């Protein structure tokens, strides 16, 4: 059901990206749900596994679409809408690294196409919830506030606001 060419090209791309990202960003970067989806889509494609594709789609398609809107808006206007893709315009990050991050453009397309091709496994939501219950605490514990992987670190400003409203 999934063409061999797509499986091979996608796998080769991930094999190139992983060591480069590891060196550039470190291992905690792979706790981002989008990076988890990028990696887990390799076995999902090869196994043609509807459960895995469904889990990944639930996890990232909405945020990937928002990333794309932000990216293309910034590309067209020079201004960011929500900042999800702001790093793509940071000259301090090598162009090649930023180019690899264009996987965010194709990832939701491949996931939605995979859902169409393989169907949706209704167990995906439950299993993705379980994965999130593991990944989010790991993101909080293993990443630092600057990285803010999966937005687990609440800024001091937001924390003060919450405390003033709910602790008083």
Lookup: tokens for 134: 């593991």
Helix (H, G, I), strand (E, B) or coil at 2: coil
Query: Which residue ranges make up each domain of the chain?
Result: 4-166
Per-residue pLDDT at 168: 45
Q: What pLDDT shows up at residue 154?
A: 63
DSSP letter for each residue of 72-111? HHHHHHS--SSSTTGGGG-TTS-HHHHHHTTHHHHHHHHH
Measured CA to CA, the distance from residue 37 to residue 20 in angstroms comes to: 17
The string of pLDDT tens digits covering residues 116-139 is 999 999 999 999 999 999 998 888
Q: pTM of the entire structure?
A: 0.87
Q: Do the beta carbons of residue 76 and residue 69 sit within 8 Å?
A: no
- Write the pLDDT tens digit of every residue in 21-35: 999 999 999 998 999
Locate 112 and state its tokens.
């939605």
């Amino acid at each position: 059901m999934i063409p061999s060419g797509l499986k091979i090209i996608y796998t080769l791309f991930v094999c190139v990206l992983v060591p480069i990202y590891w060196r550039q960003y470190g291992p905690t970067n792979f706790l981002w749900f989008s990076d988890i989806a990028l990696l887990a889509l390799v076995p999902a494609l090869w196994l043609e596994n509807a459960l895995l594709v469904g889990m990944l789609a639930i996890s990232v398609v909405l945020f990937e679409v928002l990333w794309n809107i932000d990216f293309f808006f910034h590309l067209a206007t020079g201004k960011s809408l929500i900042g999800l893709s702001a790093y793509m315009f940071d000259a301090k990050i090598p162009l090649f690294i930023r180019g690899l991050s264009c996987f965010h453009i194709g990832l939701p397309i491949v996931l939605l196409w995979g859902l169409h091709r393989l169907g949706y496994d209704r167990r995906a939501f439950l299993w993705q919830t379980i994965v999130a219950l593991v990944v989010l605490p790991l993101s909080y514990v293993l990443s630092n506030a600057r990285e803010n992987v999966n937005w687990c670190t609440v800024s001091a400003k937001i924390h003060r606001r919450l405390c003033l409203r709910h602790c008083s």
